[in-house]
Structure 1
Amino acid sequence: MPSPDVYWLALRRARGVGPRTCKLLIEKFGTPEKIFQLSSDQIAAAGVPRNTAHSIAEFRDFEPLEKELCELPNIGARLVKWTDADYPPNLRQIADPPPFLFVRGTATLTDNTCIAIVGARAASDIGRRMAQRLGLELAAKGFTVVSGLARGIDGEAHQGALDAHGRTLAILGCGVDVIYPAEHRKLAEAIIEGGGALISELPIGTQPLAENFPTRNRILSGLCLGVVIVEAAEKSGSLITARMALEQDRQVFAVPGSPLSGKTRGSNRLLKEGAKLVECVEDVIEELAPQMASRAPATARMPSAEPVPTPPTSNISASAEVARLVQAPIDAKAPEGIADSSITILNNLKESERLHVDSIIESSGLNAQTVLRLLLELELEGRVTQHPGKLFSLA
């Protein structure tokens, strides 16, 4: 007899069954295991087309799915089901949530501090730098940065979060064991090692086919409080993500670009249509702060008969930071001693042509997030310049 988790995979693999049908049936009957015990007439009575109900009732191909589940521990992955307490609460609220997720990495998914950063694959140098800076600053403030592991803006957003020693999640349009693009293999490993995760609803081994990505985007936006579009052409996947975010009642942000550049026509159009303009990380946080302050811990109705407790989030620093951001003005005066710390960093840079960020952290005696924030402030003031390879020098 198949294991209970196998029925979850089987329900999604039955012909004609999509996320909405899964949600309908699980809300009606509680678990996929119970659904497979029903006749096609009983399934159809729940509002499912008769041919789909028949394909569920006649499904018998369980053995390959058992093997798929057995393979998950070998790649460091696990199955997170819609009825599990660690299923993302924001994602459970959308109209077509995936019935389960394959998660490769140790990250818990229950915090409500996710913000997506997406944009062009063939991004400009300015766009890349902006994505990296937003990822770094958001992660340094305790937010979880979400993106799609693609070339360009996505990769820079992930890397920025990692540079801040923060957490980042990559939502894939392929199996969690398939890294696309291949040159982001080291980045994917760093995401996992940094406490983040690779996430997909697709079976392991699934290749990155073009048709997978638009449906992937609903997960990317659904996980998050808001989506920041850094660069997007007139017709791009980022605009699909923005549209889905609006349908899911998520906030959409866009970084303005030159009207002479085709790379930013899509993001500029979003601004014309009402997206919030972003020039710095405070523009994002200031817009979302009231929403975070009023949002109670996620207790969306669970489809199972018995209530499933929501575990406490392990992202303690994020929760504390959200509370601080909500209760204090964004431009609150820096704590005493920060100015002296900036001087210490500048003095260290005077003694070397270029210093790696790790050396600056070690010599300053401050924690990594504080040093990264100070370096960004000094860079914005024109006193410090960042170079490739996480190197810094006096401007």
Structure 2
Amino acid sequence: MSNSTARAISPAELEARLRLHALPDLGPQRFQRLLQAFGSASKALSAPASAWRSLGLPSACGDARRSAQVRDDARHALAWLEPAAQHLLMWDQPGYPPLLAQLDDAPPLLFVAGDPKILELPQLALVGSRRASPPGLDTARAFSRSLAGAGFVITSGLALGIDGAAHQAALDVGGRTVGVLGSGLENIYPQRHRSLARAMIERGSAVVSEFPLGCSPRPDHFPRRNRIISGLSLGVLVVEASVASGSLITARLAAQQGREVYAIPGSIHHPGARGCHQLIRDGALLVESVQQILETLSGWQNLPPSPAPSPEPIAHPLLALLHAAPHSSEGLALASGWSLPQVLAALTELEIEGRAQRENGRWFARLS
């Protein structure tokens, strides 16, 4: 079934789909297999157990479909949908994000808190390390602001670090942003970003999840979440990531899905740059400015003609060194050839101006 041939579904069919969705170990592809085999969720629920087994479905799915818990979960989801800002998008119904619908394992149901219409707008994913360095966070904020100003919806995973910085920066310039969860919408994770999620919902953005509303975060949920982040987006920008980072999973999924992959390089001494360097070796576009991203997507429709300008070139010699890598005061004196008192005086001025900051004995440049 495709979006072009979709028909509005009945309330009974909607409840049946929610019951299927609540079954353990079903997953997107098995969900689609049931709909294709029986023609509707209602008929699938009433089919004999032997028919389910013939489709290779786990016995736990068939055993649970008539349970009181599954019925209660479906009724709870129906009640959750009553407020105006809470929605359910279905793969074969109008309003489902068109890029996401192209995936073989597209989520059959997608819960949305906020404005679902922004999921049909051009999106760029911006992802990176949960333990990002101050320069990495500044880079994420600067790129997010400029891309949001250029008309893109900024999509990320609402995680700590780069994700949260990207979401907040888009909101700060009046842009829109989408957070994709690895848990249910009634169980926002991480808890520290619950206020950020509320702000996104209240300010015309959206938080989405394919998982049942009360579902807890689990390690295996995050790769599934990552395929949605990349699947919604025209491209994925990785700001800072280790080689083992989940951000690299998102980037590789993006490449498999035919999306653009961008990576920002960093110092060879910084562990958070190694994942980006690996992506560049694998064929990602090395990005030093927002303009490079916009040029690769110049043909995309519905974007404003004038993107936000790139940051001005760095003039201060100490800032040039700090943008290359974090340094101690003594390291800056050695690298610049200045005396230590000169370096300390200059760093104090830069800190007052908000252009540099000190953390754990090292100095970092700030992009904003």
Distance 1:258 1:82, change over 3 A: same
Q: CA deviation at 1:20?
A: 1.1
- Secondary structure of the 1:129 match is helix
RMSD: 2.9
Structure 1 match to 2:277: 268
Structure 2 match to 1:12: 21
* 2-structure distance, mates of 1:216, 1:119: 14
Distance 1:75 1:259, change over 3 A: farther
For residues 274-306 of structure 1, the C-alpha deviation after alignment (integer angstroms, 9 at most, x for no partner) is 00111111111111224x36xxxxxxxxxxxxx
Equivalent positions of 1:330-369 (< 5 A) are none
Instruction: Find out whether 1:59 has 2:65 as its counterpart.
Output: yes
* 2-structure distance, mates of 1:247, 1:377: 30
Distance 1:30 1:133, change over 3 A: farther
* 1-structure distance, mates of 2:24, 2:186: 24
Structure 2 match to 1:297: none
Q: CA deviation at 1:23?
A: 2.3
Q: CA deviation at 1:35?
A: 2.5
Distance 1:59 1:180, change over 3 A: closer
For residues 19-56 of structure 1, the C-alpha deviation after alignment (integer angstroms, 9 at most, x for no partner) is 112223334544322322433455566xx21655x944
Partners of 1:120 and 1:231 within 8 A in 2: yes
TM-score by length of 1: 0.71
- Secondary structure of the 1:122 match is coil
TM-score by length of 2: 0.76
For residues 205-238 of structure 1, the C-alpha deviation after alignment (integer angstroms, 9 at most, x for no partner) is 2222222211111111111111100011010111
Instruction: Judge which range, 143-152 or 3-12, deviates more.
Output: 3-12
* 2-structure distance, mates of 1:278, 1:378: 13
Distance 1:73 1:282, change over 3 A: same
* 1-structure distance, mates of 2:53, 2:298: 45
* 1-structure distance, mates of 2:311, 2:267: 26
Equivalent positions of 1:1-395 (< 5 A) are 3-42=12-51, 48-49=55-56, 51=58, 55-56=61-62, 59-61=65-67, 62-73=71-82, 76-290=85-299, 292=300, 319-321=302-304, 324=305, 373=308, 379-380=312-313
* 2-structure distance, mates of 1:71, 1:218: 25
Instruction: Judge which range, 188-197 or 58-67, deviates more.
Output: 58-67
* 1-structure distance, mates of 2:45, 2:293: 45
- Secondary structure of the 1:36 match is helix
Structure 1 unaligned residues grouped into runs of 5+: 294-318, 331-372, 389-394
Structure 2 unaligned residues grouped into runs of 5+: 1-9, 317-349, 357-367
For residues 130-170 of structure 1, the C-alpha deviation after alignment (integer angstroms, 9 at most, x for no partner) is 11111111111111000011111001111111122011000
Structure 1 match to 2:347: none
Structure 2: which amino acid aligns with 1:196? S
Partners of 1:101 and 1:201 within 8 A in 2: yes
* 1-structure distance, mates of 2:11, 2:62: 15
* 1-structure distance, mates of 2:187, 2:176: 21
Q: CA deviation at 1:9?
A: 2.1
* 2-structure distance, mates of 1:268, 1:193: 37
- Secondary structure of the 2:120 match is coil
Distance 1:131 1:2, change over 3 A: same
Q: CA deviation at 1:251?
A: 1.2
* 2-structure distance, mates of 1:237, 1:320: 29
* 1-structure distance, mates of 2:313, 2:101: 39
Structure 2: which amino acid aligns with 1:98? P
Distance 1:14 1:189, change over 3 A: closer
Partners of 1:3 and 1:66 within 8 A in 2: no
Partners of 1:112 and 1:224 within 8 A in 2: no
Q: CA deviation at 1:244?
A: 1.2
Q: CA deviation at 1:76?
A: 4.3
Partners of 1:86 and 1:108 within 8 A in 2: yes
Same amino acid, percent of matched pairs = 38
Partners of 1:116 and 1:227 within 8 A in 2: yes
